């Protein structure tokens, strides 16, 4: 049973008139037509009734004790825009009749006219209401079907676009992974590999499909090898694009590869020219060093990157290649005119160098506690008797054990070099 029907299943009509006799007469006429009356004697009473039940046909008098009939019509439509209102007045005038037409009253009937005429208007009002209701319902159904169709189409397009993006990201990841060396040259390059002085190894675990950490080995000469490592701010596509840009800059700057400070100077200027045109802050921390097997030394420059660690295996101790006064030069791309500081350290047979990104010591366990540099250094010393491939592998395993996962919050890059002779 709908709310506009009474308990006996008959449709109800709102009747509003301040004359009790008129209300009874209308109620009797409606009863004969198998309709029930919701009788009210004022505008406020009628509004209260319509707030409780959605009556769709109303017969209202123009003159009510608390408001004009036209005002009541407006307020009834605010409650129910589809209500059909029949003006029933004993004071018919041309002016009020025109007003009724203007406000789109369903009918304008004089009280002295044939009651059956009024009842015919009531029935027609119900017919019009249900026709409009049916039309609206059909339109809503059509709109819903169309929305479902468009949503289905939109979902299909989204699914297809996601597939395309996933394929593109996978391709980009494969391209990025291809930039990571899987084989390193030996030094001196004119000697058999069994006579190599330097051996290299790495472990790399990106935190997302596309990573912002990057490392590269630069053959400077027959007896000198350059090691470059960097960490681009952020992750994902933007960071990956910058690593690709860096690779191109490194190739351009190879003539300066023997001078780490000049090498970083030029890369920084190239990045700054590009980054300064972008309205968001972008920077790259980096360290570049050159190992010289003839002079038994490493020269290096640092651009805001965590300092490399020199493992002096003969003494089982670590030396950090920190900047002067432990104050590293600023990261790449933040300023255009930077003179990076050149430093050097002597190396001996059995020494090892480990370069790393901050993801290695900022990784967190399930309690939110970071690895920290102290623990990271302890892990290195615990594996001080291991060749570089095993040492780096054990470091990565320690990270996974500490974090309880092999999916870290940041990229983790470990890049090592052994001085085997």
Q: Distances in Å between the alpha carbon of 207 and those of 44, 169, 239, 330, 417?
A: 67, 14, 12, 25, 24
Q: What residue spans define the domains of the chain?
A: 12-137, 179-419
- Cβ atoms of residues 59 and 16 within 8 Å: yes
What confidence tens digit (pLDDT) does each residue in 147-199 have?
A: 777 676 666 676 776 676 666 555 555 555 666 666 778 788 777 777 778 88
Residue 2: the pLDDT is: 43
What confidence tens digit (pLDDT) does each residue in 271-309 have?
A: 888 888 776 678 889 999 999 988 999 999 999 999 999
CATH of 179-419, one of 3.20.20.150, 3.40.50.1820, 3.40.1710.10, 3.60.40.10: 3.60.40.10
> What H or E segment, with its residue span, contains residue 208?
none
Strand pairing class (198-205; 107-110): unpaired
Q: Distances in Å between the alpha carbon of 316 and those of 82, 201, 386?
A: 89, 20, 12
Q: Look up the pTM and report it.
A: 0.59
Residue 235: the pLDDT is: 63
Residue 1: the pLDDT is: 37
The fold of 12-137 is Rossmann fold (3.40.50)
Lowest mean pLDDT among 3-7, 202-206, 362-366, 375-379: 3-7
What confidence tens digit (pLDDT) does each residue in 98-122 have?
A: 888 788 888 888 887 788 889 988 9
What confidence tens digit (pLDDT) does each residue in 129-145 have?
A: 777 776 676 677 677 77
């Amino acid at each position: 049973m709908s709310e506009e029907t009474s308990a006996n299943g008959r449709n109800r009509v709102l009747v509003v008139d301040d004359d009790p006799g008129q209300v009874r007469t209308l109620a009797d006429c409606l009863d004969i037509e198998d309709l029930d009356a919701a009788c009210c004697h004022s505008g406020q009473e009628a509004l209260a009734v319509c707030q409780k039940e959605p009556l769709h046909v109303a017969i209202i008098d123009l003159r009510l004790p608390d408001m004009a009939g036209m005002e009541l019509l407006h307020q009834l439509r605010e409650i129910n825009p589809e209500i059909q209102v029949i003006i029933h007045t004993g004071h018919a005038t041309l002016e009020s009749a025109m007003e009724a037409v203007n406000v789109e009253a369903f009918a304008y009937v004089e009280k002295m006219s044939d009651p059956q005429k009024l009842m015919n208007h009531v029935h027609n009002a119900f017919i019009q209401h249900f026709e409009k209701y049916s039309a609206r319902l059909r339109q809503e159904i059509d709109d819903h079907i169309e929305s479902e169709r468009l949503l289905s189409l939109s979902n299909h397009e989204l699914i297809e676009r996601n597939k395309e993006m996933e394929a593109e990201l996978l391709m980009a990841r494969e391209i990025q992974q291809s930039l990571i060396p899987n084989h390193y040259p030996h030094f001196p390059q004119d000697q058999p590999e069994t006579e190599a002085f330097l051996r290299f190894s790495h472990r790399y675990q990106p935190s997302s499909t596309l990573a912002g950490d990057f490392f590269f080995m630069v053959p400077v000469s027959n007896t000198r090898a350059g090691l470059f490592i960097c960490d681009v701010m952020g992750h994902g596509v933007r960071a990956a694009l910058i690593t690709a840009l860096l690779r191109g800059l490194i190739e351009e700057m190879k003539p300066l590869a023997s001078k780490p400070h000049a090498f970083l100077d030029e890369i920084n200027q190239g990045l700054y020219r590009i980054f300064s045109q972008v309205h968001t802050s972008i920077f790259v921390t980096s360290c570049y060093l050159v190992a010289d097997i003839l002079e038994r030394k490493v020269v290096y420059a640092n651009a805001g990157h965590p300092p490399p660690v020199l493992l002096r295996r003969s003494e089982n101790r670590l030396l950090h290649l920190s900047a002067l006064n432990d104050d590293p030069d600023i990261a790449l791309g933040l300023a255009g005119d930077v003179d990076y500081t050149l430093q050097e350290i002597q190396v001996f047979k059995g020494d090892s160098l480990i370069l790393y990104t901050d993801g290695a010591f900022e990784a967190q366990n399930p309690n939110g506690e970071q690895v920290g540099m102290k623990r990271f250094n302890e892990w290195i010393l615990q594996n001080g008797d291991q060749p570089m491939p095993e040492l780096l592998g054990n470091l990565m395993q320690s990270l996974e054990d500490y974090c309880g996962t092999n999916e870290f919050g940041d990229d983790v890059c470990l890049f090592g070099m052994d001085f085997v002779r």
